[in-house]
Amino acid sequence: MGKPWAAPGQVIGLLGGSFDPPHPGHVHLSLEALKRLRLDQLWWLVSPGNPIKPNPPAPLPARMAAARAVMQHPKVRITDLEADLGTTATVDTLAALQRVYPKLRFIWLMGADNLAQLHLWDRWPEIMHQVPVAVFARPGQRLPALTSKAAQRFARQRLRRGRAPVLGHLAPPAWLYLDMPMRDDSSTALRQREKGRAIRAE
C-alpha cells in the first residue's frame, strides 16, 4: 500500500485493531471521532496481530478487504502500516509513525474495553506520554475503564469532554472519555455466530 498522505499540522486519529472482522461498531466510533475530535483524517491500523491475544487473527489481506468494504469515508484511510513498519506493540508503532511523519499530530483512539486493559500493554505508560488519547464508550465498559489502573495513574491528565475539539493540539499526557450512543457490535460475537453457522452447515 502507498503511504497515506496528510498535510503538515493535520490531526490524525489512529484506530488500531484486529478488525477480525470489522463491524458497524468500528464505523460508529470512527464517525464520532471525526466529528468530536475535529480530525483531519482517521487511519485504521489493521493489525498484523494483537501481541496479547492468544489466537492469531484471519489473514491480513482478508481483514484489509473487509475493512475497506465496511468503512468508506473521504477522511478515513484503511492501512496496514504496522505490517510496513514491522511493529506490533502500539508503543513501537507510535514511535515509528512519529519518526516517519514528524509534522503530523496523532491521537490514539480506543474503545472503553481497551482502556480497562491498557495496563497489560507493552510499556503502556509511555503510550500516554507519546500522544493524546481519546476513549469511546462501549456497553458495560464505563466502570471498568474509568476505574482501571491506567485511568487511576493518569487521573490528573484526564480532560473534560468539552476539550475534545482541541485534544489533538495538546501536549501528552492528555486523555478524555467520550460518551456516545453505544453499539454492542463485537468481532468476538461475529466470529462465534459464524462458527455456529459453519457447525450447523456440516
Ligand X SMILES: O=C(O)c1ccc[n+]([C@@H]2O[C@H](COP(=O)([O-])O)[C@@H](O)[C@H]2O)c1
Per residue, the 3-state secondary structure of 81-128, as one string, reads HHHHHCCCCHHHHHHHHHHHCCCCEEEEEEEHHHHHHHHHCCCHHHHH
- Which of ligand ATP, ligand X, none does residue 122 bind to, with CB < 5 to 8 Å depending on kind? ligand X
Regarding 17 and contact with ligand X (CB under 6 A), the answer is yes
For residues 91 and 170, which CB has a smaller minimum distance to ligand X in the complex? 91
For residues 85 and 91, which CB has a smaller minimum distance to ligand X in the complex? 91
The C-alpha cell that represents 164 in the structure block? 475534545
Least Å from the CB of residue 59 to ligand ATP = 15
Interface characters, 76-105, with ligand X (x: CB under 6 A):
-------------xxx--------------
For helices 24-36 and 60-70, the axis angle rounded to 10 degrees is: 60
Regarding 56 and contact with ligand X (CB under 6 A), the answer is no
**Do residues 150 and 119 make contact, with C-beta atoms less than 8 angstroms apart?**
yes
Least Å from the CB of residue 103 to ligand ATP = 26
Regarding 47 and contact with ligand X (CB under 6 A), the answer is yes
DSSP 4: P
Distance, in Å, from the CA atom of 146 to the CA atom of 156, rounded to the nearest integer, reads: 13
For residues 18 and 87, which CB has a smaller minimum distance to ligand ATP in the complex? 18
